[in-house]
Amino acid sequence: KEAIRELKKYGIPNYETGERCAKVIQKIYNNSC
């Protein structure tokens, strides 16, 4: 959950980092759900 807040601070629609973090984000959502 802390990582999600950090992403909101940086702004999720940063596609440059989003593509690289997409795999990590998917893992976070899978663990959250």
pTM above threshold 0.95: no
- pLDDT of 27: 83
- pLDDT of 25: 77
Parse the chain into domains and list their residue ranges: 2-32
DSSP type of residue 12: T
Separation of alpha carbons 22 and 11, rounded Å: 13
Q: Give the list of residues 6+ apart from residue 24 with CB closer than 8 angstroms, or none.
A: 3
Tokens encoding 22: 């997409």
Q: pLDDT tens, 9-32?
A: 766 565 566 666 677 878 888 877
